[in-house]
Structure 1
């Protein structure tokens, strides 16, 4: 598992969930397929020439790779172009492979958090104080949130459409 330092991980939930996941060729996280290649600023990509958008990738706040995929990346690293964004790089390297991509809305790993839900396995963009509060909640309450709240809508990744149409945010309470 790879996570950023500002992510809170429910290791118990990750371990439990892994029991029901494929043990090989697993790429598990919250995926995006619409992201434009950055043309300026800190994340400017001068060498990404494949397309004007990144290939689908699990967002870098946290994701899981099976051992065989880690081995594949390590053994072939000398062949890969390295881009500014580690998560977009990984999605590009794994793009043509026949693997199990598992989009999970319980990975709150976007650039802006979607709120607080006790079902979250990973939640990203947390301050040190937020991380302490989440840990204290787990110790005292056995859950992440004292009160669940939504600040942004999520989406289920639609693998049957082109990546630019993959990720439409919808209110889960509206059928």
Structure 2
């Protein structure tokens, strides 16, 4: 027995040595083939900083450098080119930046809305005129945030009477807020401040900031709202953000949210996603962007008519938005922020920002499985809500 055990031990030792020999042989052969040799780069690792011709792209380059400590450490102050100091810096960060008039090559020929945006795009903070500090005292399951304009009283009231009805729906707490800026006389709006004050006192759902409420400033409304969530409503589990001319099937949204797994709920961002898009170059199009402002493709983004996301994503968007240069189209800007986070919005067929076929629009059952339809008038919102709320509806 002792002799057999000795023989077995010897065999094991021989096999182990054999495998070690094979491993060493393979390693040495790889070294001979050059697979594990130390390679010295023939070119500098950091490429030369070259400014993008388009102003918005260039502002993003500057932000990327300022927020990249590794990259910034490889350049001394003397090495930095002049264009990296284009950022607006005064004691008041929201003073107009008139330096931009010489930094955008065709500034003088641009429409006024572009000039206004470029001069003030560095400003991200505006005073709150009307606030609702206690509206989320009980953290809501769903926060409905509606982009509106001061004169749109009828739209807001129709939403309150239909899909934006606050309170408990399907045993879930729902809170509705309307997001407004200032409707200025410069844009030929009548003075409706007295009526707006009355509306705010009565319904306690108006959030208003002191900035010019224009199409290009919808991005300002976006960053201000993200800041407001973290200050006033950080406990909101989910957020729907959309326009005041959409119909939202709140019941369907609550059903959808209730069926999500925890990981899915945490990273939720769904809507009518647009991919492979880029800036319009036709001056007659509402979304026209000149090449002097932006070049390149857009990241995937959800159409601004309405999208749904988690409170966790809202916090991350708020944080990353400080590192993304403002862009005049708000839904594209949100897509840029998501890309910066390494995320992409998810397309959901329940979001119809380009409407449904005309033959189905008067059919109550056509709205049963949808989350959003755009556009709808105040009267249509109330009508569709009545259809969907009817206990006798059979689809």
Q: Deviations over 1:61-119 (max 9, x none)?
A: 11111112211121232221222221111112112534464211111113xx1234231
Rg (Cα) greater in structure: 2
Superposed, which structure 2 residues align to 1:9-158 within 5 Å? 9-21=248-260, 22-39=264-281, 40=283, 41-46=285-290, 47-49=293-295, 51=296, 53-99=297-343, 101-110=345-354, 113-115=355-357, 116=361, 117=366, 118-140=368-390
Q: Any conservation in 2 of the 1:82–1:89 contact (CA below 8 Å)? A: yes
Greater helix fraction, Structure 1 or Structure 2: 2
Q: What TM-score does the superposition give when structure 2 sets the normalisation length? A: 0.33
Partner SS for 2:265: coil
Partner SS for 2:389: helix
Q: Any conservation in 1 of the 2:324–2:337 contact (CA below 8 Å)? A: yes
Q: Any conservation in 1 of the 2:272–2:348 contact (CA below 8 Å)? A: yes
Question: Which range moves more in the overlay, 58-67 or 128-137?
Answer: 128-137
Gapped runs of 5+ residues in structure 2? 1-239
Q: Deviations over 1:14-41 (max 9, x none)?
A: 1111123312121111111033312334
Q: Any conservation in 2 of the 1:26–1:100 contact (CA below 8 Å)? A: no
Q: Any conservation in 1 of the 2:248–2:373 contact (CA below 8 Å)? A: yes
Q: Any conservation in 2 of the 1:25–1:100 contact (CA below 8 Å)? A: no
- Measured in 1, the distance between the counterparts of 2:316 and 2:272 equals 21
Cα root mean square deviation, aligned:
2.4
Greater relative CO, 1 or 2 (CA 8 Å, sep 6+): 1
- Measured in 1, the distance between the counterparts of 2:309 and 2:380 equals 26
- Measured in 1, the distance between the counterparts of 2:307 and 2:375 equals 14
- State the 1:43 CA deviation: 2.6
Aligned residues: 141
Gapped runs of 5+ residues in structure 1? 148-175
Report the equivalent of 1:173. none
Partner SS for 1:59: strand
**Structure 1 outlier segments of 4+, above 4 Å:** none
Report the equivalent of 1:168. none
- Measured in 1, the distance between the counterparts of 2:375 and 2:294 equals 26
- Measured in 1, the distance between the counterparts of 2:377 and 2:252 equals 22
- Measured in 2, the distance between the counterparts of 1:135 and 1:119 equals 13
- State the 1:129 CA deviation: 2.2
- State the 1:132 CA deviation: 2.1
